[in-house]
Structure 1
Amino acid sequence: MRFRLLVVLAVLLVGVVPASAVPASAAQQEQAQCSFPYSATDATGANVTVEEEPQRVVALQASTAQIMWEIGAKDKVVGMPVRSYTAYLDGSKERTDVLTDGGMAVDVEQVVKLDPDLVVAPGSIADEQIQQIRDAGIPVYKFASDTSIESIYRQIERVGRLTGECEGAERTVSDMRDRVQLIEGAVEGEERPRVLYTFYGYTAGNGTFIDSVITAAGGQNVAAEAGIQGYAQISEEQVVKQDPEWIVTPNDAPLPNGTAYESTTAFRKNQTVTVNASLMNQAGPRVVQPMTKLAKTFHPEAVEEALASADAANGTNGTDDSAGTNGTDGTNGTNASADATDGNGSGGTGGSGPGFGVAAAVVALVGAALLTLRRT
């Protein structure tokens, strides 16, 4: 108990520097480092140059839009996926949708028509489409797929640098790190329950940021233990063998059924939890919210103590893990609509890595290759 409290206090104190101790030139140095023109090599191997600070940005993925909102750059976004899974972003419906009618591909003509200064693309977008946009004289920076919480930090920092929002990006990453370190410190030494994250027969294995989220929350991802790579199907045999103690589902997918699942410890003990699909599946800053919820589910006493200590140290009254949400937790078999998003009751029906929300059943049929487009 005492060790855990010390860990929490250490997390809170690390990096706290009185404003008076910061040299006056620090802000100037940061501004100089965030100047333009700026060049960086993207996932296609291209050297992408942004000549001036962008004022019109197109985000081809939901998580990039989320990042733009969090770092204080939402007013620069002119185009993005305008779908149910981005409705939690205040003002997103006022942007131009850059996906085709079916939402399964990028509308290149619409992107070009928006005349953006910069387009930010996920790893799931075909290089041919990236080149079509570049041929129109528009700089496009393509990210690789996110494989961990650390990779999300790097993406936030790079988006901030590309868009001239370095300070907001640094603040966002710092806030994320604080929460992740707080949770990791709270669950350190606790016994890790076996956890399966599943949607329409698919799961998140090794090399996914969702695996990293489950681990940070104090769980043991059975899909990774089973040797599953990326987003892939999990067989009933694997489910039986791994015998998860907790089954986690996004709130746009039903609980799995069948004899294999009914035989698990999770079902026998009524231990299922529903998380917000948009927040869990989008590789963005708000992934710490479902991470916190999972940690509180797996290790309630340890995490509640850590959060209470953090609140006391910060002088706050209670911790809001849903960041303005009005949903209820779907834990212990209640399967409620967990973590409704951003106070708008949208409930988040989509996200990043694993799929396209309402169309997730279709995505499952067409294969795991499409599972990254709409929620990343």
Structure 2
Amino acid sequence: MRQKLAVLAIAVLVLSLFAPAAAGSSGTVTPTAADATQAECEFPIEVTDATGETITLEEPPETVVALQPSDARTVFEIGAEDRLVGVPDNPAVADLETDGIESVTDGYQIQHETVVDLDPDVVLAANTTSESDIETLRDAGLDVYHFGEARSIDDVRNNTRRTGELTGECAGAEESVQWMDERLEIVDEALEGADRPLAYYPMGADGTTPGTDSFIHDVLTTAGVEDLSEAASGSFYPQLSEETIVEEDPEWIIYPDDSAEPRMPDVAEATTAYQSGNLVAVDANQISQPTPQVIYPIVEIVGEVHPEAYAEATADLNETNETADENETNESDGETEDTIPGFGVPVAVGAVVAAVGVLARRR
């Protein structure tokens, strides 16, 4: 088992050098001819959104507005950020390179006049966008695509592909989905037959947690833990009772890193997880936004729940990086540099350095 997880760490983290996107990068490159042919967008297209509204785009859009953080992040992920003319202005997209792109929100409040004045070819609106906002923009004559609720990793795949269709970047979207699937396959193989300890993902002092009908639940179970939300009465975002938390006694607490400590009922401090210091903080944006970056929390959770295997993998990874650095130095003499949509080489190197830091960190 430890050997499998070591392979997981090396494979996933080294392959992260070639991720299809990184928040904040603007470099793009055309995928291989085969990929581009297989995933080439065809116009005109006619699609129906979660509200039942049918949208027709006669040609690839030149201007796109993303109303929500996940909309903007997905556009960056697939390499279509050059079409963005409007993005939200709030902490959830602070890591994206949005200089020169108009802000269309005041915090989380959509500024309708700003969006209308931009006159985009299409507006992307994640499920968190209110129906009144959608109606206002449609009444102004804009084509607005309202995404449905993402309740699984498969929904993330579908939303990524649909974003590709709506932005004219089908090849980049398919490449992102393939990047996800390659890493998920490694995770699945490494965790085959592994013990799955009980984990609790708290979202508030009232006991709220992502339920079994949420994509965060899918992220947790894919990462090799049993989700405490399965003991709750609701399936979407239920509230766990204090009695359930104490009786089930989770071994791990996984929480978003937008707070220094888990936001949870006080009784959770009596659990094995809290008393043992088995706390895993994952990137709040990556785990809460249904984009391809949900892969990163999955890998981090596996690493924290199986620290010994990851410690072994770190040593091997360092050797691999040294070899890669030597090869990169030799290749740089030829002044050749490859990039993948949304992910330049400097960003890739930084991603691996950060990943190694994650492996060495014990909470």
Could you say which TM-score interval applies, normalised by the shorter chain? 0.7 to 0.9
Alignment match, 1:141 = 145
User: Which residue type is aligned with residue 266 of structure 1?
Assistant: A
CA deviations on 1:127-161 (whole Å, 9 max, x unpaired) are 23212212222111111010011110111111001
Give the direction of change, closer, same or farther, for the CA distance of 1:28–1:187 in structure 2 (3 Å limit). closer
Give the direction of change, closer, same or farther, for the CA distance of 1:25–1:278 in structure 2 (3 Å limit). closer
- Pair 1:51-2:58 in alignment: yes
CA distance in 2, matches of 1:234, 1:274: 20
Alignment match, 2:94 = 87
Residue 115 of structure 1, CA deviation? 1.0
CA distance in 2, matches of 1:223, 1:275: 18
- Pair 1:190-2:197 in alignment: no
Give the direction of change, closer, same or farther, for the CA distance of 1:65–1:265 in structure 2 (3 Å limit). same
CA distance in 2, matches of 1:166, 1:139: 19
- Pair 1:224-2:230 in alignment: yes
CA deviations on 1:201-257 (whole Å, 9 max, x unpaired) are 331111111101101110111013324322343332221122111111111123246
**SS, match of residue 217 in structure 2:** helix
Q: What does residue range 39-188 of structure 1 map to in structure 2 within 5 Å?
A: 39-89=46-96, 91-99=97-105, 101=106, 103-188=107-192
**SS, match of residue 92 in structure 1:** coil
Q: Which has the higher contact order (CA 8 A, sep 6+)?
A: 2
Residue 106 of structure 1, CA deviation? 2.1
Alignment match, 1:215 = 221
CA distance in 2, matches of 1:67, 1:170: 12
CA distance in 2, matches of 1:185, 1:316: 25
CA contact (8 A) 2:68 2:129 kept: no
Give the direction of change, closer, same or farther, for the CA distance of 1:300–1:3 in structure 2 (3 Å limit). closer
CA contact (8 A) 1:187 1:299 kept: no
**How large is the RMSD of aligned CA atoms in angstroms?**
3.4
CA distance in 1, matches of 2:350, 2:156: 19
CA distance in 1, matches of 2:246, 2:154: 32
**SS, match of residue 181 in structure 1:** helix
CA distance in 2, matches of 1:306, 1:170: 30
The sequence identity of aligned pairs, in percent, is: 37
**SS, match of residue 209 in structure 2:** strand
Give the direction of change, closer, same or farther, for the CA distance of 1:27–1:246 in structure 2 (3 Å limit). closer
CA contact (8 A) 1:82 1:93 kept: no
Give the direction of change, closer, same or farther, for the CA distance of 1:204–1:182 in structure 2 (3 Å limit). same
Structure 1 length as normaliser, TM-score? 0.74
CA contact (8 A) 1:58 1:79 kept: yes
CA distance in 1, matches of 2:98, 2:243: 42
**SS, match of residue 202 in structure 2:** strand
Alignment match, 1:361 = none
CA contact (8 A) 2:200 2:227 kept: yes
CA distance in 1, matches of 2:359, 2:235: 27
CA distance in 2, matches of 1:159, 1:289: 20
1:296 to 283, 303, 324: 303
CA contact (8 A) 1:217 1:292 kept: yes
CA distance in 2, matches of 1:244, 1:25: 49
CA contact (8 A) 2:63 2:122 kept: yes
CA contact (8 A) 2:116 2:140 kept: yes
Give the direction of change, closer, same or farther, for the CA distance of 1:200–1:324 in structure 2 (3 Å limit). farther
CA distance in 2, matches of 1:56, 1:166: 16
Give the direction of change, closer, same or farther, for the CA distance of 1:25–1:222 in structure 2 (3 Å limit). closer
Greater percentage in helix: 2
Gap runs ≥5 in structure 1: 13-23, 335-376
Give the direction of change, closer, same or farther, for the CA distance of 1:142–1:76 in structure 2 (3 Å limit). same
Give the direction of change, closer, same or farther, for the CA distance of 1:259–1:63 in structure 2 (3 Å limit). closer
CA contact (8 A) 2:311 2:359 kept: no
Gap runs ≥5 in structure 2: 13-31, 326-347
CA contact (8 A) 1:248 1:272 kept: yes
CA contact (8 A) 2:68 2:125 kept: yes
**SS, match of residue 204 in structure 1:** coil
Q: What does residue range 194-343 of structure 1 map to in structure 2 within 5 Å?
A: 194-201=198-205, 202-253=208-259, 254-256=261-263, 259-301=266-308, 322=351, 325=354, 329=358, 334=363
**SS, match of residue 52 in structure 1:** coil
Give the direction of change, closer, same or farther, for the CA distance of 1:181–1:62 in structure 2 (3 Å limit). same
CA distance in 1, matches of 2:239, 2:360: 24
CA contact (8 A) 1:272 1:331 kept: no
Alignment match, 1:372 = none
